[in-house]
Amino acid sequence: MLSKDKQALAGLRIIDLSQIFAGPYATKLLADMGAETIRVECAARSGRGGALPRMKPGGAFGASFPDGDTGERSYNRFAYYNEVNRNKYAITLDLTKPLGVEVFKRLVRISDVVVESFTPRVMKNFGLDYPVLRETNPQIIMISLSGYGQDGPYRDYVTYGEGIEAMVGLSQLTAYPDGEPLKPGVAYADATSGLHAAFAILAALRYRRLSGKGQYIDLAMREAVTPILGEAIMDYAMNKRAAKPMGNRHPLMAPHGCYRAQGRGRKGGENEKGVGENQKEGAWIAIAISSDEEWRSFCRAMGDPLWTRDEKFASRSGRLANREELDRLIEEWTSGYDHIELMNMLQGSGIKAGAVLNIAELAHDPHLNERGFFEELSHPEAGTHRYPGISWRMSRTPGRLRLPAPCFGEHNRFIFGELLGMSDEEVSRLADEGVSASEPLPYLEA
């Protein structure tokens, strides 16, 4: 390895059995930092949506394939999989077969961490629960991500991240003040659980470094997501008061909200090839004013219109009490300006203002690009595209996108042959007996 390309987690080996998003997000963070991450997939559960016939299905799903085309091997071209599994290797093993289990154990012997996100009974059914893995490798760290945890009455309940968002109170609070419960527009519970899982793995590794001991980590997504609602839970504990949706309002700041603007210079939409779910989304700017001093700066930036001199807006308590009127007056002003130009102008006056960036604007944001947040990767079946890169900057071990997401079974020969030292005959036998599949089963839901 070149010294200029130091990786924080070089030398660490992770086996990743996890599916969909939460577990793969955890291992993405570690793989980005240089951990050698080997995804173990099988024909029935590829984590890639299975094999689809070639088509151009349209909508958000169709758009998840390069040029809207599922291609010959859809499972190697799926955006959801390819974004979160870059920097990883992939092999195929059928763990319902004894030979698959045997090969898996050989891998466990030379690895540091096993990550899985099945419902709680599955690993035991494979004969690969923690007591077995510990016997195979006493230093192994195993983490199980599940919806509700490895015990308790909901242990076997099925859920996705959105169900968890509902069950922790997040959906109820993600709403307009007068509206019905909605939910975050992205897989928020999955990402939040994945981040906690990555932290848990690194904490267990630190303990192993000092004690020589591995351990088992039980991460219930619901429990990992609950702390982000901490202050609302404390309010209930203290005052028996259940938080209500506040939309874009803030308990202590006014003005605080999202205001209509023009999108004149907007990228995407009609200006580019971009076609989206919602062509009428409009252009918006978020503004947050936390002190009377900031309020006066904001009034100056607006050119001190007469209404701002009204006494009722002079103090924070007055602005909070009259925020509906305040928001309306501000929006009359913002709606004459381009959201990006307005952001630049207000920030230049020291005001907390941010354009609501759509995905095209985010991808072209000058600041994120200056910081090298997006990186280009060439994938043998998906082509050359830009992806969100490393989530943070590190001075000595910056990390980068080294490898495109693996194709299904791409590293079978490398991992079985080079890493486990199996002979060509043994590797062929895995394929012949259907232990290592070369393509996923046809598409089934989820």
Interface with other proteins in residues 209-228 (CB under 8 A) = 209-211, 213, 215-220, 222-224, 226-228
Q: Could you give the string, one character per residue 113-152, with x where binding to other proteins holds by CB under 8 A and - elsewhere?
A: -----------------x------------x----xx-xx
CB of 172 to other proteins, least distance (A): 5
Which tokens go with 350? 């020291």
CA distance 83 to 375: 11
Q: Could you give the string, one character per residue 44-83, with x where binding to other proteins holds by CB under 8 A and - elsewhere?
A: -------------xxxxxxxxxxxx----------xx-xx
CA distances from 155 to 25, 32, 114, 121, 198 (A): 22, 32, 20, 9, 22
Residue with tokens 């390819």: 82
- Which of 13, 105, 260, 402 contacts other proteins by CB under 8 A? 260
CA distance 144 to 333: 52
Q: Does 277 bind other proteins (CB under 8 A)?
A: yes
Residue among 163 and 318 whose Cβ is closer to other proteins: 163
Q: What is the DSSP letter of 165?
A: H
**H, E, C per residue of 183-234:** CCCCCHHHHHHHHHHHHHHHHHHHHHHHHCCCEEEEEEHHHHHHHHHHHHHH
Q: Does 333 bind other proteins (CB under 8 A)?
A: no
Give, as ranges, the residues between 236 and 255 that touch other proteins (CB under 8 A): 236-243, 245-248, 250-253
- Which of 72, 135, 234, 293 contacts other proteins by CB under 8 A? 234
CA distance 14 to 37: 5
Q: Give me the residues paired with residue 219 across strands.
A: 145
Helix (H) or strand (E) holding 141: strand 141-146
CA distance 51 to 69: 13
CB of 191 to other proteins, least distance (A): 4
Residue among 153 and 303 whose Cβ is closer to other proteins: 153
- Which of 16, 17, 18, 21 contacts other proteins by CB under 8 A? 21
Which tokens go with 245? 């949706």
The one segment of 23-31, 310-318, 406-414, 425-433 that binds other proteins by CB under 8 A: 23-31
- Which of 13, 73, 106, 184 contacts other proteins by CB under 8 A? 184
- Which of 5, 72, 135, 272 contacts other proteins by CB under 8 A? 272
- Which of 40, 200, 330, 430 contacts other proteins by CB under 8 A? 200
Residue among 149 and 406 whose Cβ is closer to other proteins: 149
Q: What is the DSSP letter of 315?
A: S
**Buried/exposed code over 296-328 (b: 16+ C-beta within 10 A; e: otherwise):** ebbbebbeeeeebeeeebeebeebbeebeebbe
Give, as ranges, the residues between 287 and 316 that touch other proteins (CB under 8 A): 288, 290
Residue among 62 and 318 whose Cβ is closer to other proteins: 62
Q: Does 110 bind other proteins (CB under 8 A)?
A: no
Residue with tokens 């599940």: 146
Residue 53 has a CB neighbour count (10 Å cut-off) of 9
Q: 87 and 31 in contact (C-beta within 8 Å)?
A: yes
Please report, as a single letter, which amino acid is at residue 87: N
Give, as ranges, the residues between 348 and 387 that touch other proteins (CB under 8 A): 350-360, 362-363, 365-368, 370-371, 373-374, 382, 385-387
Give, as ranges, the residues between 152 and 181 that touch other proteins (CB under 8 A): 152-154, 157-160, 162-176, 179-181
Give, as ranges, the residues between 77 and 106 that touch other proteins (CB under 8 A): 79-80, 82-84
Residue among 106 and 316 whose Cβ is closer to other proteins: 316
Give, as ranges, the residues between 392 and 431 that touch other proteins (CB under 8 A): 392-397
